[in-house]
Chains A and B, each alone.
Chain A
Amino acid sequence: MSAARGNRAPRPGGGDRLSGNGPVSRDGVLNSGRSAMEPVLAIRDFSVVYRTSGGDVRAVDQVNLDLHAGEVVGLAGESGSGKSTLAYGACRLLRAPALITSGSVRYQGQRMGTPAEIMQLRADQLKRLRWREIAIVFQSAMNALNPVLNVGDQLLDVIHAHLRISREEAREKAASLLDLVGIPRARLRSYPHQLSGGMRQRVMIAMALATDPEIVIMDEPTTALDVVVQRDILAQIVELKETLNFAILFITHDLSLLLELADRIAVMYAGQLLEIGTASEIQHESAHPYTKGLLNSFPSLRGPRRELAGIPGSPPDLRTPSPGCAFLPRCAYGTDDCTRIDMSLARVATSPDPGHVTACPFVLPGTPAPAGHTATTGHADTTGDDASALMASASAESEPSHEELTP
């Protein structure tokens, strides 16, 4: 595995190679009792490639990630970073040309006596695991719901396929699921096109919860929705999670949303995890340059107007991975040493939390960006997609500002 990746560069402070071990509460203190518990889902050394005529695309590359009961883990990354492939791959929902090349995914549910190794399950065992134990809320509710069946029939379909209960009970269950997500029971007879986008997404969530799963994977469940509806649905998800105590793997490209929602956040880039930490650690003490860049990429509505820098360049071609760090071409901190590191996660030396891990051995939370890469306004005549286009806040310089408006 990692031997093939070249020599490992020394890390300041050293560290273990674990990926975010143990549930950690927001204040960084280990939750007593829970810390001893096995994770409900343990992904180890997991790799997926897409076989193409132009070579293998390494979509997920040796990922380690744990999910504990009742925990919200956010998986943040750009499109093409492999976050959906990782989640679907862990449930073996991928088909050719995707190929799982290595790794193990161990599921330990409360209803199961012994842990299940998902990679080795037979088809009938997989069928029992999916939805019953691990359910998925897909991104686009418009496409995921069947347009010619009403909501009730679709819910009943799920219930009958996975639970052995009578018709009457199933009907009652379907209705109570709608209650759960705040949709009137009368809507059981509605067809998807008669529902608003937010209601359709709620129906998707109700379907995922139909079998009382232990893990719910949510793949961009609110991306297509308006902010007001999005917030409403997120509040609903949090509330349901508190009541039903399932774990959530929340996939999104919107880091700002995860900072608010997730207990822990894993940042993914080019098929690899670059950093894992609690939401607070990611926000205030982010260690990896990519995380720092992401945090500086979205305009905030509150607080001071910051100088936003964004991340120059675009994600790498996964068919021809370059040695060392995949983020190097876009990294402000990059040095020659970066081509020689392996990308395993190690504890952030300055962090009291052993669960805060980063793939970058050189940059620490406090490390200032090297000179020449600090955000400046004024676009030199740089060229190409690699141009380091830095957007100053709304063209601050040399033009009338907003102050003039206050008499």
Chain B
Amino acid sequence: MSIADPGEQPQSPGPGPNVASAAAGRGPLAMEAVSISKDFRLTRGNTLRAVRQVSFGLYRGAVVALVGESGSGKSTVARLLAGQEPLTSGSIMLDGAPIDISTHRAFRRYKSEVQLVFQDPFSSLNPVHTVSYHLERPLRLHQAGSKGNGQGRAGRPGKQEIAALLKQVRLTPAEQFLPKYPYELSGGQRQRVSFARALAARPSVLLADEPVSMLDVSIRLEMLGLLDDLRRDFQLALLYITHDIASARYFADEVLVMYAGQIVERGPAEELTQHPAHPYTQLLVASAPDPDNLGSTLRAGAKRAARPPEGASQAAAAGCPFSPRCPLAEDRCRQEGPALRRVSPTRAAACWRLEIAAPEVLAGTPSLPDHGGVGT
């Protein structure tokens, strides 16, 4: 992230190249971020440019993964999309129209379409309320009004509706869970309640901010599987925010890689993870634990070269934000920020030196290794 003078010009002009989203094949466009930016004012007139001109679409029934390290701005994107923070510039479209959250009622209407699931199931549920309360409230708030389900505005949602929600997230028998308090539940069960709470509003868009990273490894897969089922059953447009690019490979249709507030690369999950084009994505992929390596790179200290110089975690104020850490950076990279550039009909990367960084990606279609086709 850069701390820049407020007067500085934005680096990447325009909303981005004409690249088809790999998620578009799944369903209609539900939500679109058009060149959204968010600046946070810090002290002494400094501005933290947390999100810079980010554009992407979320499609019904598809998963878009937003991958990046902590501080890259990925959670800020989720908060912007959820309407929790005002935009500095850009716009968010929901079903083709710019979103309106100007009034309390409009905001609530928006919230019933767009729901957020938080990372930490231990702090995102209210410890003094039961599971039943957590689900009853959104049902009452969101379903009585605009969506009308036969019940009156003030009608209390029935036990059956709540039980149905619990069944959707596979917390059964529901009667057993309804009177429980969060402390009586395991981490996985709590996160299921969070999912159920989000589903209670019957949203079309679900923003999941690191939904499994606080859970045990043996549970994560099951939870991602559940999320995937919910996506399919409810045709949810899902934004999956994670720092774990390997899970994005398995779970997402399209992957967006974020660095210092910008999207530096985007493309279909399998292609992008197997043939990363941007030097940062390459570093990210190379850093993931690789059991088949059996310590070879660790032992050789091969990755030591990648250590950023002192202070480099603060991205350059000018030029490419990754340039202080990039092994390929040249003068141009330090002076001028690259915009996302189309490298294939479905892929784009923001790098001046793609010819050197990823010649095989530029040269056309890098052949995906044939792995016998399990699951692809």
Contact A391 B222 (CB under 8 A): yes
CA distance A392 to B216 in the complex (A): 19
CB closest chain-A residue, reference B273: A301
CB of B144 within 8 Å of the partner chain: no
B372–A228 contact, CB under 8 A? no
Within the complex, the shortest CB–CB distance from B227 to chain A, in Å, comes to: 9
- Contacts A261-B295, A297-B221, A310-B218: A385 and B268 contacting too (C-beta < 8 A)? no
Whether A391 pairs with B228 at a CB distance below 8 angstroms is yes
What is the 8 Å Cβ interface bit string for chain B, positions 307-325, against chain A (1 contact, 0 not)? 1001001000000000000
Tell which of A253, A382, A396 touches B376, judged by Cβ atoms closer than 8 Å: A396
Given A227-B287, A230-B287, A301-B249, residue A394 in contact with residue B228 (CB < 8 A):
yes
Are B287 and A231 neighbours in the complex by a CB distance under 8 Å? Answer: yes
A327-367 contacts to B, CB under 8 A, are none
Most chain B CB inside 10 Å of its own CB: which residue of A231, A306, A384:
A231
Cα A78 to Cα B288 in complex, Å, equals: 20
Nearest A residue to B283 via CB reads A228
Does B246 lie within 8 Å of A255, measured CB to CB?
Answer: no
Say whether B303 contacts A310, CB under 8 Å: no
Does A399 contact B250, Cβ atoms closer than 8 Å?
A: no
Whether A394 lies near B375 (C-beta < 8 A) is yes
User: A234 vs B70: C-alpha distance in the bound complex, in angstroms?
Assistant: 18
A305 / chain B contacts, CB cutoff of 8 Å: 249-250, 270, 371, 374-376
Give B336-376 interface residues, CB cut-off 8 Å to A: 344-346, 365, 368-369, 371-372, 374-376
Known: A232-B304, A238-B301. A389 touches B70 (CB 8 A): no
A4 contacts B by Cβ under 8 Å: no
Q: Which of the residues A26, A235, A308, A401 comes within 8 Å of B303, measured between beta carbons?
A: A235
Q: Is B76 an interface residue (CB 8 A)?
A: no
A220 to chain B, nearest CB (A): 12
Contact B291 A308 (CB under 8 A): no
* Minimal beta-carbon separation of B308 from chain A (angstroms): 9
Known: A255-B217, A403-B376, A404-B25. A395 touches B232 (CB 8 A): yes
B69 interfacial by beta-carbon distance below 8 Å: yes
B172 at the interface (CB under 8 A from A): yes
**A303 sits at the interface (CB 8 A):** yes
> 1/0 per residue A374-407: CB within 8 Å of B?
0000010011110101111111100111111111
Decide yes or no: A235 and B376 within 8 Å by CB, A226-B243, A391-B228 being known contacts: no
Q: Tell whether, in the assembled complex, residue B253 and residue A394 are in contact, meaning their CB atoms are under 8 Å apart.
A: yes
Provide the residues of chain B in CB contact with A299, threshold 8 Å. Answer: 221, 246-247, 249-251
Decide if A307 is an interface residue (CB 8 Å cutoff): yes
Chain B nearest CB from A193 CB (Å) reads 15
The answer on a CB contact under 8 Å between B252 and A385 is: no
- Interface flags for B52-74 (1: CB within 8 Å of A; 0: not) read 00000000010100000110000
The answer to whether A304 has its CB under 8 Å from any CB of chain B is: yes
Total contacts A-B at CB 8 Å: 217
Residue B175 is within 8 A (CB to CB) of chain A in the complex: no
Q: How far is it, in angstroms, between the C-alpha of A392 and the C-alpha of B229 when the chains are bound?
A: 10
A residues in contact with B284, CB < 8 Å:
227-228
Q: Mark B210-239, 1 if CB is under 8 A from A, else 0.
A: 000000111111101110110110000000
Contacts of B243 in A (CB 8 A): 226-227
- Give the docked Cα–Cα distance between A9 and B216 (Å): 31
The reply to whether A302 and B292 contact each other, CB–CB distance below 8 Å, is yes
For B270, give its contact among A297, A298, A387, A402 (CB under 8 Å): A402
**Interface check A324, CB cutoff 8 A:** no
Q: Is the CB of A391 within 8 A of B221?
A: yes
Chain B residue contacts of A43, Cβ below 8 A: none
Q: Closest Cβ of chain A: how far from B171's Cβ, in Å? A: 7
Interface centre among B25, B26, B284, B307 (most CB of A within 10 A): B307
B253 and A238: CB pair below 8 A?
no
- Alpha-carbon separation in the docked complex, A63 to B344 (Å): 55
Q: A301-B290, A304-B371, A384-B171 are in contact. Are A234 and B298 (CB under 8 A)?
A: yes
Known: A383-B170, A399-B26, A400-B25. A254 touches B289 (CB 8 A): yes
User: Which residues from chain A contact B344 at a C-beta distance below 8 Å?
Assistant: 405
Cβ-defined contact, B298 with A379, below 8 A: no
From 220 to 264 in chain A, residues with beta carbon under 8 angstroms from any chain B beta carbon are 226-232, 234-236, 238-239, 253-257, 259-261
Chain A, 280-307, CB within 8 A of any chain B CB: 280, 283, 293-294, 297-307
Q: For B69, what are the chain A residues with a Cβ–Cβ distance below 8 Å?
A: 226-229
Interface residues of A in 127-183 (CB under 8 A from B): 182
Contacts A254-B289, A385-B188 given; indicate if A231 touches B172 (C-beta within 8 A).
Answer: no
On whether the beta carbons of A301 and B245 are closer than 8 Å, the reply is yes
Judged by a CB distance under 8 angstroms, whether A320 is at the interface is: no
Bound together, the chains give a CA A382 to CA B245 distance in angstroms of 29
A294–B294 alpha-carbon span in the complex (Å): 17
The digit string for B272-310, where 1 denotes a CB below 8 A from any CB of A, is 010000000001110111111111011101111011001
Interface pair B170/A387, CB less than 8 Å apart: yes
Given known contacts A78-B217, A395-B228, A385 and B186 CB-to-CB distance under 8 angstroms: yes
Residue pair A401, B376 in contact (C-beta under 8 Å): yes
B25 CB contacts on chain A under 8 angstroms:
400, 404
Cβ of A311 under 8 Å from chain B: yes
Contacts A383-B172, A401-B376 hold; do A235 and B288 have CB atoms under 8 A apart? Answer: no
Residue pair B298, A235 in contact (C-beta under 8 Å)? yes
| Min C-beta distance of A376 to chain B, whole Å | 12
In whole Å, how far is A201's beta carbon from the nearest beta carbon of chain B? 13
**Are A279 and B295 touching (Cβ within 8 A)?**
yes
B189 in the interface (beta carbon within 8 A): yes
Q: Can you offer 9 A-B residue contacts whose CB atoms are under 8 A?
A: A260-B295, A304-B371, A305-B249, A384-B172, A389-B222, A392-B375, A393-B376, A402-B269, A402-B376
3 closest A-B pairs by CB = A304-B371, A393-B375, A391-B225
Q: Give me the interface of B with A, judged by CB distance under 8 Å.
A: 22, 25-26, 61, 63, 69-70, 167, 170-173, 186-189, 192, 216-222, 224-226, 228-229, 231-232, 243-247, 249-253, 268-271, 273, 283-285, 287-295, 297-299, 301-304, 306-307, 310, 313, 344-346, 365, 368-369, 371-372, 374-376
- Having A299-B221, A314-B219, A391-B228, one finds 18 other A-B pairs with CB under 8 Å, namely A227-B243, A239-B304, A259-B294, A297-B221, A301-B249, A305-B249, A308-B221, A311-B222, A314-B188, A383-B167, A383-B170, A385-B186, A385-B188, A387-B170, A391-B222, A393-B250, A400-B26, A402-B270
List A residues at the B interface (Cβ < 8 Å): 26, 78-79, 182, 184, 196-197, 226-232, 234-236, 238-239, 253-257, 259-261, 279-280, 283, 293-294, 297-312, 314-315, 379, 382-385, 387, 389-396, 399-407
